[in-house]
């Protein structure tokens, strides 16, 4: 799958999670991301992914809602619905992407769980995330 657009990159990451391709997931993170500070070894993360997600994690839907591309990076808002160990969960996320070695990479994100969304999905925009009181950027 081509990943020229940030939205295509987000869809490729979701597909990698669906296929349990944790090597691709690891590679999709920017080297300066908090994730890569936590997981410095690719093989260790692949093992972690299988041990902690494996067959218990299933994405039901990944829908890109908004995309904003600038020369220095991109922002993408998407909605994710998934099952983990039989429990359905959902969230909207604002993902900040940066280019690295000519490709988009995930740098950081901010999630709002579905039950905490302040408006319907079709009304979510970048300001929605600015208005959230306690922000957890990961």
The answer to whether residue 61 is domain-embedded is: yes
Instruction: Give the pLDDT of residue 128.
Output: 95
In this prediction the pTM is 0.93
Beta-strand pair 73-84/87-100: antiparallel
pLDDT level of residue 1 (50, 70, 90 thresholds): very low
What tokens were used for 12?
Answer: 């490729």
Query: CA angle 121-114-127, nearest 5°?
Result: 50
The answer to whether residue 19 is domain-embedded is: yes
Instruction: Give the pLDDT of residue 2.
Output: 53
Percent of the chain with pLDDT over 70: 99
The answer to whether residue 114 is domain-embedded is: yes
The answer to whether residue 41 is domain-embedded is: yes
What value does the mean pLDDT of the chain take? 93
Instruction: Give the pLDDT of residue 92.
Output: 97
94-125 per-position pLDDT tens digit: 999 999 999 999 999 999 999 999 999 999 99
The residue whose two tokens read 């995330």 is 129
State mean pLDDT over 63-86: 94
16-25 per-position pLDDT tens digit: 999 999 999 9
The answer to whether residue 137 is domain-embedded is: no
Say yes or no to pLDDT of 134 above 80.
no
DSSP 81-109: EEEETTEEEEEEEEEEEEEETTEEEEEEE
Say yes or no to pLDDT of 40 above 70.
yes
Say yes or no to pLDDT of 3 above 80.
no
* CATH number of residue 24's parent domain: 3.10.450.50
Domain tally, the chain: 1
The answer to whether residue 34 is domain-embedded is: yes
The answer to whether residue 1 is domain-embedded is: no
Which stretches of 1-111 are DSSP H helices?
A: 6-18, 22-27, 34-38, 42-52
Instruction: Give the pLDDT of residue 138.
Output: 87
Range of the domain at 96: 6-130
The answer to whether residue 135 is domain-embedded is: no
Instruction: Give the pLDDT of residue 28.
Output: 98
């Amino acid at each position: 799958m081509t990943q020229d657009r940030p939205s295509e990159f987000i869809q490729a990451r979701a597909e990698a999670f669906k296929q349990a391709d944790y090597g691709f997931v690891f590679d999709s993170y920017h080297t300066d991301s908090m994730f890569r500070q936590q997981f410095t070894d690719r093989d260790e993360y692949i093992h972690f992914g299988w041990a902690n997600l494996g067959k218990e994690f299933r994405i039901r839907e990944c829908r890109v809602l908004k995309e904003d591309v600038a020369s220095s990076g991109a922002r993408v808002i998407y909605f994710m619905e998934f099952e983990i160990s039989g429990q359905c969960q959902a969230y909207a996320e604002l993902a900040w992407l940066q280019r690295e070695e000519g490709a988009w990479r995930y740098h950081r994100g901010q999630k709002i769980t579905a039950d905490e969304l302040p408006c319907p999905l079709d009304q979510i925009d970048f300001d929605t995330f600015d208005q959230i009181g306690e922000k957890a950027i990961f």
